[in-house]
Amino acid sequence: MSATIKPFTDEFEEYGRDESRASGEASSISFPTTEDEVRVILGKLHAECVPVTVQGARTGLAAGAVPHGGHILNTSRMNRYLGLRRDEQGQFLLRVEPGVVLSELRKQLSKKVLPTAGWDQASLEAYEEFQEAPEQFFPTDPTETSACLGGMAACNASGARSYAYGPMRPHITGLHVALADGDLLELQRGEAFAQGRHLSLVTAAGHTLELDLPGYTMPKTKNASGYFVADDMDAIDLFIGACGTLGVITELEIALQAAPTVVWGVSCFFDSEDKAVSFTDSVRPVLSHAAAAFASLPALDKGAKVCVYVELDCDDEVQATEELYHLGWVLELAGGSDDATWVARTEVDRECQRFFRHAVPESVNMLIDERRRTDPTITKLGSDMSVPNARLGDVIALYRRTLAESGLESAAWGHIGNNHLHVNILPRDAQDYRRGGELFAQWASEVTAMGGAVSAEHGVGKIKAGFLETMYGHEAMVESARLKLQLDPDGQLGRGNLFSEKLLDELVQKGGA
């Protein structure tokens, strides 16, 4: 039976790590296939006070899915499509289990063919309308399309399209969340709101939860750092981006959108970062999304130091042509050249550009894997910080100055439209790894002072828990831990994620006070 709790033997070794290259230990593991099985497992583990780490496809980069002892609850086999409906505006809303993989969802949507086994009559009628309607798509676009939707919700994933479409959060309209004791919350966007910073929720078993939300203010920039909190907020938003610390996502309802009729990709090359920044600042109003790779590949001309990739999502080719001409005008004003620009008007050409865009991070991963054969203790150090628009030039200058002073190897890419660059330090030995960590801590402090976020899209997990305290302060971490304990009194779920286990244990011993 899938709900069986199995000993964590060598057979399951791969489940001790994720894409962060971090690894951990566990004593048991389970692979539930239904919401009910999740609830049974949690109820049993709760009675025994066993820590629980929730996993999906393990594509995360913040070690949120890496176990810190106890049990691994892996939801990757919960991959059914549960139903479909249309809201009052005619938008299609699709219910899925958390293990549905993004790449598979995209294939199903492009073919207009969804697995409908077990659907009720209302869903089947909506499905007929879906097949007759224009092609639909789900816009959240992380680099790893093998990610599952539950994991994407758990870290509020975003990706290359986030400048135009935002992160995962606004595209989630419903959630089922199993709590540490096996009880269930059924959340629908627009139905339950906080009163100021206090939130009351009623579980499926009829228990009322009175939750005190932390008092910190989130930065006005791309942000996946800590719990989402705001005055009078929608309750569903608290559980999106919570890194598996408040409950286990067992069902999602996601909003689909009509796919753009015309999509053109444009790769713009510059001989300096200053020109790329100037171009980005000028072209923001028409950007669909933009990504930047602050490194050159051997096949490029020596003058190409920076590439900014822009995607134009348009209603027709007339609009696409107009936006392309405007882009070219801004490009020349910023010091770029039409002759050094790649334009992709077909899916085949866009795939070539995407391959180019992903070549730098893939090359970095290959390099680090080679170095780990000599020293298994090292791994790459990848930043995930964002700043407000006005500070993009400042943060790039900070990165370049401090990297030059440190003598560390690095490569950078990311989402320049959101002022969100992934600066990757490539340690050659343990000393480089230590110095890189110290440099990241310095960046976290300075980015916070700029009004930025220490994690823009990957979540905090275990790797960036210390940075979260730098960003919000110790008292905010205490308030966050107290909120967690109001939902998870024994501190079982996602231990090590967001805040230290020491802080959590101290509060548990004090009764959550």
The answer to which of 28-37, 167-176, 263-272, 443-452 has the lowest mean pLDDT is: 263-272
pLDDT tens for each residue of 238-271: 999 999 999 999 999 999 999 999 999 999 999 9
What confidence tier does 1 reach under pLDDT thresholds 50, 70, 90? very low
**DSSP-derived secondary structure letter, 159:** B
Q: How many residues does the chain have?
A: 513
**DSSP-derived secondary structure letter, 10:** G
Regarding pTM above 0.85, the answer is yes
Beta bridge partners of 422: 413
3-state secondary structure of 103: helix
3-state secondary structure of 489: coil
Structure tokens at 486: 């109001």
pLDDT at 304: 84
- Asked if residue 363 has pLDDT above 50, the reply is yes
Distance CA 28, CA 463 (A): 23
pLDDT at 297: 42
Burial of 269 (0-12, 13-18, 19+ CB in 10 A): buried
**DSSP-derived secondary structure letter, 390:** G
Distance CA 64, CA 31 (A): 18
Share of the chain above pLDDT 90, in %: 80
Residue type, 489: P
pLDDT tens for each residue of 331-351: 999 999 888 899 999 988 888
| DSSP E strand boundaries for 395-480 | 410-415, 420-425
pLDDT tens for each residue of 471-504: 999 999 999 999 999 999 999 999 999 989 999 9
The conformational region for residue 266 under phi > 0 = left, psi -120 to 50 = alpha, else beta, is beta
pLDDT at 229: 98
Arithmetic mean of pLDDT, 426-435: 93
pLDDT tens for each residue of 380-401: 788 999 999 999 999 999 999 9
The residues, any chain, with a CB within 8 Å of residue 25's CB and separated by 6 or more, are 8, 16, 67, 68, 69
CB atoms within 10 A of CB 409: 16
pLDDT at 289: 61
- Asked if residue 294 has pLDDT above 80, the reply is no
pLDDT at 8: 97
- Asked if residue 292 has pLDDT above 70, the reply is no
What confidence tier does 290 reach under pLDDT thresholds 50, 70, 90? low
The chain-wide mean pLDDT, for the chain, equals 92
CB atoms within 10 A of CB 129: 13
pLDDT at 299: 55
Do residues 46 and 4 make contact, with C-beta atoms less than 8 angstroms apart? no
pLDDT tens for each residue of 145-182: 899 999 999 999 998 888 889 999 999 999 999 999 99
pLDDT tens for each residue of 130-147: 999 999 999 998 888 899
Distance CA 95, CA 402 (A): 47
**C-alpha separations of 113 from 26, 73, 81, 340 in Å:** 39, 30, 11, 40
pLDDT at 298: 41
CB atoms within 10 A of CB 192: 17
**DSSP-derived secondary structure letter, 462:** T
